[in-house]
Chains A and B, each alone.
Chain A
């Protein structure tokens, strides 16, 4: 008897509930593409926004709809991208690895301040107070907003207050580009080796009082690489699409504001420029 009640009631209960659930399942089901979840799982979940979407999930949605290709994700390793691509049956659409580069070489060892900034330790903050007090109005303020903004620990401030980018870690998410109040960062393909590390638009040697590695708009580089480098707003502009660039313009630059970024040796400057770089910081007193 006991067994019968038990079996009967449990059986009945499960039957009723099962029916209800099955019915509800068919009536109330909400259609959602399961591939979105699958793709999201394969993404790095950093939500860095490097792909141009607000986060990994929206990117996954876009991937599934085919609006974008997996290669757009700047963070995930190639193997993962191939996995996603093969899962969705599309091309990887890989792009050449880009890295963030700083257009300033004026660390505390080669540049001076006009004024002494006090207040919040933030470039954004100091830039709003009379430009931050750096002698060169275009130069890096060195308070490390980019270092904070970088989610991948790819930026570290050097001894002399200049951000150094670890190209292996950099995912080209663009956070540092947004963070820099002086707009010194930009994203470039890794293969672009010749680099103008200055933004000063001043002409002539006067700027050298403030920064020893500033561009004086002498134009020698433009003469070295005609067609590839031209002077615009007192600054050399490199056209990377025109043929192969060599390290020559960098070697001739008298101040070292054009550098050759060697994969092994780092930033290579010309003979005359190399003398400028000092080991320790400049004193505040003007020369």
Chain B
């Protein structure tokens, strides 16, 4: 382990860490809510298909929904209980999605029966990929991308390095930190599955320097002879982003619009890795996840193992909230999404529940909004080397098409660095989200129109683009 590695990426920002409240608190089990809601779409891709009926009794860990297609994963019952109904539930995206409502049996021991194990040493890559899909594993860092889909090697692609992402650069969040400290064995149990599935020959675990204890624990726990190294990285946001981590650890740049595979790397979150290491040898599926519950608006801060589907209202009531709690978001404060309804359940992607009170005057909230003064702070902050200032001006004028064509809007992954540093308090990220949504919509409309037309007309695509331009 090199203690003070200077490996990092260019640009980025240094937000305050704010992890001290929870980083020393061990993971605790969270109680079961009176009703658990398992949304069928907790991942990117098609929703899973329920395989239970209303009124059916389920056992904890039982598969209750099967994947629909390759970009979809299975769902498992978070508790033993009875399926009350299958209906609409609000989700963090602001749309209603279908979910399975389960009333847990209050008296149940909530034990999980083991299933068919999958052995890392003997299984072939296809089996591992299938097992991971069946276990319902998605990226637990927050993105929600089905992990097995990453591991499936397309024709002609190869991977030499597996990167395990322990950067956890978001303020407040300490789940990865605790997992690395408490479940290093799971991490090292998970790594062989991933290496075997992808054919990677070495593994690097990247840990930010504010988690030196975790790095030390991992380093000490590396199995003898395993091609695994632990690297500490300078503390910088957004080091935990896939592209940034690859740049920091390998010095390679993922091509614009491409994937880590294009530079022979694959990147998984450390908690995801630990989860694979915990589930696969026992043939289980995900029924709970570690969540940091913190922020100034929360009374009993801590790291909890929360059953999937626990409604936020229950989480907050149980953890206790301050009187003047006004904002709650899932994930960290940089990229986490604001919660509009407390009926939203905890999903596989929820790495944190952060509550702010009305006293936490985020400068974005209260101060004046100024026009862009072209100070260039955002240009210096953007880890993707975009020009957020220009993009912001274009967005205000509704020039969405130019944003994507001339200024690489689609490379933006909404890390929030630009908005964080902006002295004019311009909601750059939100502008970009609107622009992307409008462009996506225009594209879909164009495609729909294309399909609907009997004779394909070349004029249709420009038309949709013109539309996108007109949206302001």
Q: Is chain B in direct contact with chain A in the complex (CB below 8 A)?
A: yes
Show the binding face of A for B, using Cβ within 8 Å: 47, 49, 52-55, 58, 62, 114-115, 118-120, 122, 124-125, 127-133, 137-138, 145, 148-149, 151, 174-175, 178-179, 181, 201-202
Rounded to whole angstroms, the CA-CA distance of A55 and B341 in the bound complex is 43
Nearest 9 A/B pairs, CB to CB: A131-B94, A130-B340, A115-B340, A124-B434, A54-B462, A54-B466, A133-B340, A128-B433, A130-B94
Select which of A122, A138, A178, A201 is within 8 A of B441 by beta carbon: A178
Q: Check if B467 sits within 8 Å of A49, measured CB to CB.
A: yes
Residue of B with least CB distance to A61: B459
Q: Check if B340 sits within 8 Å of A129, measured CB to CB.
A: yes
Select which of A54, A124, A131, A202 is within 8 A of B463 by beta carbon: A54
Cβ contacts under 8 Å, A133 to chain B: 340
Q: Check if A120 sits within 8 Å of B434, measured CB to CB.
A: yes
* CB pairs A–B below 8 angstroms (17 shown): A49-B466, A52-B459, A52-B460, A55-B466, A62-B459, A115-B340, A115-B341, A119-B430, A120-B434, A125-B431, A131-B340, A145-B471, A175-B471, A178-B438, A178-B467, A181-B437, A201-B96
Q: Does B49 contact A (CB under 8 A)?
A: no
A125-B340 contact given A49-B467, A137-B96, CB 8 Å threshold: no
**How far is the CB of B463 from the nearest CB of chain A, in Å?**
5
Rounded to whole angstroms, the CA-CA distance of A115 and B339 in the bound complex is 8
Residue-wise interface mask of B (438-469) relative to A, using a CB-CB cutoff of 8 A (1 in contact, 0 not): 10011001000100000000011011011100
**How far is the CB of B433 from the nearest CB of chain A, in Å?**
5
Q: Does B199 contact A (CB under 8 A)?
A: no
**How far is the CB of A4 from the nearest CB of chain B, in Å?**
61
Q: Check if B427 sits within 8 Å of A120, measured CB to CB.
A: yes
Residue of B with least CB distance to A174: B467
A120-B430 contact given A62-B459, A130-B338, A137-B90, CB 8 Å threshold: yes
Q: Check if B339 sits within 8 Å of A130, measured CB to CB.
A: yes
**How far is the CB of A67 from the nearest CB of chain B, in Å?**
8
Rounded to whole angstroms, the CA-CA distance of A132 and B430 in the bound complex is 13
Number of interface residues of B (CB under 8 A): 34
Q: Check if B459 sits within 8 Å of A58, measured CB to CB.
A: yes
Q: Check if A128 sits within 8 Å of B94, measured CB to CB.
A: yes
Cβ contacts under 8 Å, B337 to chain A: 129-130
Cβ contacts under 8 Å, B434 to chain A: 120, 122, 124-125, 128
Cβ contacts under 8 Å, A132 to chain B: 94, 340
Cβ contacts under 8 Å, B341 to chain A: 114-115, 130
**How far is the CB of B42 from the nearest CB of chain A, in Å?**
16
Cβ contacts under 8 Å, A119 to chain B: 427, 430
Rounded to whole angstroms, the CA-CA distance of A49 and B466 in the bound complex is 8
Rounded to whole angstroms, the CA-CA distance of A225 and B287 in the bound complex is 48
Q: Check if B365 sits within 8 Å of A118, measured CB to CB.
A: yes
Cβ contacts under 8 Å, B92 to chain A: 130
Q: Does B221 contact A (CB under 8 A)?
A: no
Extra A-B contacts (9), CB below 8 Å, given A49-B463, A54-B459, A179-B471: A54-B463, A115-B341, A120-B430, A120-B434, A128-B430, A130-B93, A137-B96, A178-B442, A178-B471
A-facing residues in B298-339 (Cβ within 8 Å)? 337-339
Cβ contacts under 8 Å, A114 to chain B: 340-341
Cβ contacts under 8 Å, A175 to chain B: 467, 470-471
